[in-house]
Amino acid sequence: MPLCFADPSAASIPLHILSKDALAGWLKDQSVQIQNWVAANTFTAGLGQALVIAGSDGSPAMALVGWGTAPTRARARFHLAAAASKLPKGIYAIASGLPDDTAETEALGWLLAGYRFDRYRKIAPMAALLVAPAGVDAAKVEAIANGEALTRTLINTPASDMGPPDLEDAARNLAITHSATIEVTTGDALLENNLPMIHTVGRAADRAPRLIDMRWGEDGPTLTLVGKGVCFDTGGLNIKPGASMGLMKKDMGGAAAVLGLAHMIMATGTKVRLRVLIPAVENSISSNAFRPQDILTSRKGLTVEINNTDAEGRLVLADALALADEEKPDQIISMATLTGAARVAVGPDLAPYFSDAPSFCAALENAANRIADPVWRMPFHNPYETMIEPGIADLDNAPSGGFAGCITAALFLRRFVTQSAYAHFDIYGWQPSAAPARHKGGVGQATRALFAGLDDILGK
């Protein structure tokens, strides 16, 4: 079911948001009965607390949500969502206490708290619905929420039902929804169309590799999104240990992220000429799998020595990035669950990104801070270029030594974009434990920040 706000014309329950500092003052203006009820239920306005107050007929007359203190709020996100799931069934409307500068983000958090991945078992929907707060663009927030929901669902779906053909189907459905055009190059046609590394990585799987190419929009700057679509990653002949393979259904998280971002852009009618490229493959093990120390020739003509078949994501992205760069768009952005090194560096919650453009970084980080979608800039550190040059070929897909893995991967990708502005995101795509508005499982990262900062990023 789509995530949406309640009908504003429906009868609703007033919702008061109270910080710890504001609680005593608010209670002074209430009846003795309300004061006693709040005290009896030990409501202290702690962050995420929720309390319903009944009227004389026993039905809910109002509800209270705790807003905590500034220090507790600084350590969390989506504060309203922390209470939303605790409220009983009903339609709620903000009556007081929600700061204007956070209203959109908090309303979004409420919608995201209602996300359910129920493909394989029934899960009760969230009981509490919200009327869009005053001043909030409800349609835009719903578009963002449903873009994020799309990303989550694609990542959560196991590889048995989310292989390259299924990822193609998801892209086609999105294209139909928004009247976009789509072309898909599959199997040996990849070789005929000079996409050799996508073919090489995916050729060992029963489900053929493919490149998905979706276009939308006729006006505005040109933006190309490239998402890593490795639907399952065994590691290839450099097979992953079981513990490392357990979450590899999420290795198409970059593709899921760019499709979610594309939905946000298209659903809101953003003035941009959008292209989405997704190399969709499975990195499988078979007699025709590519091997360590093979040397591949990319679409761009650069040769790549394979020193680890588990560093396959950068190979499929490289061909897609080279294709994207040939059109010289105003901005290319790649998103990928690319390296474990990025997780070691910043953990699961931050989305590390690479860009040499100060204007891009400023626009992105301003938006990220404003809407609680955290990012962290990492360096395209030029002195490390020698680490990806093996001598026998132009590039090494897995430099030895183990240092700076996310940086060397980003430098590898940058070699394939020479004519366009470029930024790369090395995301995790997974929420390890449940948090307000973020269930355990697949999650979007940096897409909301990119969407919020898009005008400034593209210089509109």
Distance between CA 214 and CA 450 in Å, rounded? 19
Q: Does domain 142-457 have CATH number 3.40.640.10?
A: no
User: What are the φ/ψ torsions at residue 60 (nearest 5 degrees)?
Assistant: -60, 125
pLDDT value, residue 402: 82
Please state, in angstroms and as integers, the Cα–Cα distance from residue 67 to each residue in 41, 72, 129, 371, 436, following that order: 17, 9, 19, 17, 13
301, exposed or middle or buried, with CB in 10 Å at 0-12, 13-18, 19+? exposed
* Cβ neighbours of residue 344 closer than 8 Å, sequence gap 6 or more: none
Secondary structure letter of residue 435 according to DSSP: B
Strand partners, 51: 64
Helix ranges restricted to H, 159-305: 164-177, 189-192, 196-202, 242-245, 253-267
Quick count: other Cβ atoms within 10 Å of Cβ 70?
Answer: 10
Distance between CA 268 and CA 288 in Å, rounded? 45
Q: Are 429 and 253 in contact (CB under 8 A)?
A: yes
Secondary structure letter of residue 443 according to DSSP: -
Cα first-last separation, the chain? 34
Q: Which two tokens stand for residue 43?
A: 């409501």
> Amino acid identity of 338?
L
3-state secondary structure (DSSP) of residue 18: strand
* Cβ neighbours of residue 63 closer than 8 Å, sequence gap 6 or more: 13, 14, 15, 16, 50, 51, 52, 53, 87, 92
* Domain assignments of the chain as residue spans, ordered by start: 13-136, 142-457
3-state secondary structure (DSSP) of residue 164: helix
Just list the catalytic residues. Answer: 240, 314
Q: Are 5 and 129 in contact (CB under 8 A)?
A: yes
Q: Which of 319, 349, 351 shows the shortest CA–CA distance to 335?
A: 351
pLDDT value, residue 275: 99
pTM of the predicted protein model:
0.97
What does the pLDDT profile of the chain (460 residues) look like in tens digits? 899 999 999 999 999 999 999 999 999 999 999 999 999 999 999 999 999 999 989 999 999 999 999 999 999 999 999 999 999 999 999 999 999 999 999 999 999 999 999 999 999 999 999 999 999 999 999 999 999 999 999 999 999 999 999 999 999 999 999 999 999 999 999 999 999 999 999 999 999 999 999 999 999 999 999 999 999 999 999 999 999 999 999 999 999 999 999 999 999 999 999 999 999 999 999 999 999 999 999 999 999 999 999 999 999 999 999 999 999 999 999 999 999 999 999 999 999 999 999 999 999 999 999 999 999 999 999 999 999 999 999 999 999 888 999 999 999 999 999 999 999 999 999 999 999 999 999 999 999 999 999 999 999 7
Query: Strand 222-227 to strand 295-297: parallel, antiparallel, or no bridges (unpaired)?
Result: unpaired
pLDDT value, residue 390: 94
* Cβ neighbours of residue 90 closer than 8 Å, sequence gap 6 or more: 12, 13, 60, 127, 128, 129
Q: Which of 335, 320, 225, 336 shows the shortest CA–CA distance to 272?
A: 225
Q: Are 277 and 224 in contact (CB under 8 A)?
A: yes
Q: Are 4 and 127 in contact (CB under 8 A)?
A: no
pLDDT value, residue 401: 83
Quick count: other Cβ atoms within 10 Å of Cβ 88?
Answer: 11
Q: Which CATH class is domain 13-136?
A: alpha beta
